[in-house]
């Protein structure tokens, strides 16, 4: 994975893949689902960015919402575009969450290339509606992308061994602009795990969650209410 400086967001972030136009269309389409008074989960990444920017515009036009951010990056952007934020610890439920994904098969997702999946999953699980926005390159018949697993630093060797026993191929994610591994915003490390074709995301999700030392992983199984897919000049919406 490559990291580049993004002068628009004033952050270093992973290189953007997929069609920028499709991401914008999908993000804006997802943002249009937000209603007056909503508490809104604000996802992380280059597609969620477009949803946050669209919501910022709507706030300027008078829409009253409060955002719950899933990362430092999204908090910074939300503040910049004028979305009032509340802390995750202040809410016991969320009206709607909007987020991107690294891969989508049906209503199952792989997330976490931006290392924010633990918080993203908490926010999505607390939301009445979870709207996923992706460009068309993210859609697949079967999940087969590496699954990011957030792990306690001290448990890394044991968890690595357990993942290998399960047939996975784990790789520690390294930082680009510092020596050593990536540290998540929760102070943990990441194992990017290749499981090949994931025949049963639900079973794999449960098996990974059952490993002591795992904080959370990037498989989001049947959590999405709607998938907004940017395709060419339009958006295809899949609903449960
Ligand atoms: C961050 C995520 C992102 O939502 C995912 O990586 C998609 O990002 P992008 O829209 O930039 O492709 O899960 O943890």
User: pLDDT per residue over 94-138, tens digit each?
Assistant: 999 999 999 999 999 999 999 999 999 999 999 999 999 999 999
C-beta 46 within 6 A of ligand 1? yes
Residue 22 designated active-site: no
- Between helices 48-60 and 72-81, what is the axis angle to 10°? 30
Catalytic residue among 28, 113, 120, 226: 120
* pLDDT tens for each residue of 204-234: 999 999 999 999 999 999 999 999 999 999 9
CB 225 within 8 A of CB 129: yes
Nearest atom of ligand 1 to the alpha carbon of 45: 11
Query: Do 127 and 167 belong together in one domain?
Result: no
C-beta 102 within 6 A of ligand 1? yes
Q: Which pLDDT band holds residue 7 (cuts at 50, 70, 90)? A: very low
What is the count of structural domains for the chain? 2
Q: Does residue 240 form part of some domain? A: no
**Helical segments of the chain, H only:** 20-31, 48-60, 72-81, 117-126, 156-165, 201-209
| pTM of the predicted structure, to 2 decimals | 0.92
Residue 2 has pLDDT above 80, yes or no: no
CATH of the domain at 158: 3.30.70.260
Query: Do 182 and 133 belong together in one domain?
Result: no
Q: Does residue 38 form part of some domain? A: yes
Q: How far does the centroid of ligand 1 lie from the alpha carbon of residue 3, in Å? A: 13
Burial of 193 (0-12, 13-18, 19+ CB in 10 A): buried
Distance CA 164, CA 161 (A): 5
* pLDDT tens for each residue of 8-67: 444 455 555 569 999 999 999 999 999 999 999 999 999 999 999 999 999 999 999 999
């Amino acid at each position: 994975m490559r990291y580049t400086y993004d002068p628009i967001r004033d952050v270093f972030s992973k290189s953007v893949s997929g069609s920028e136009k499709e991401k914008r269309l999908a993000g804006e389409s997802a943002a249009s689902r937000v209603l007056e008074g909503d508490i809104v989960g604000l996802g992380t990444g280059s597609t969620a960015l477009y949803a946050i920017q669209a919501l910022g515009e709507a706030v300027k036009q008078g829409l009253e919402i409060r955002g719950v951010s899933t990362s430092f990056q999204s908090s910074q952007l939300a503040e910049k575009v004028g979305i009032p934020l509340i802390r995750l610890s202040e809410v016991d439920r969320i009206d709607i969450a909007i987020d991107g994904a690294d891969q989508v098969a049906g209503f199952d997702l792989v997330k976490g290339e931006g290392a924010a999946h633990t918080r993203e999953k908490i926010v999505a699980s607390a939301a009445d509606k979870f709207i996923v926005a992706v460009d068309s390159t993210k859609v697949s018949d079967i999940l087969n992308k590496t699954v990011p697993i957030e792990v306690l630093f001290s448990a890394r060797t044991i968890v690595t061994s357990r993942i290998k026993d399960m047939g996975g191929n784990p790789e520690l994610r390294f930082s680009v602009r510092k020596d050593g591994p990536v540290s998540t915003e929760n102070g943990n490390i990441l194992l990017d795990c290749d499981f090949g074709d994931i025949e049963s995301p639900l079973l794999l999700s449960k098996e990974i969650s059952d490993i002591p030392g795992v904080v959370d992983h990037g498989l989001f199984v049947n959590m999405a209410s709607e998938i907004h897919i940017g395709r060419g000049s339009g958006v295809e919406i899949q609903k449960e």
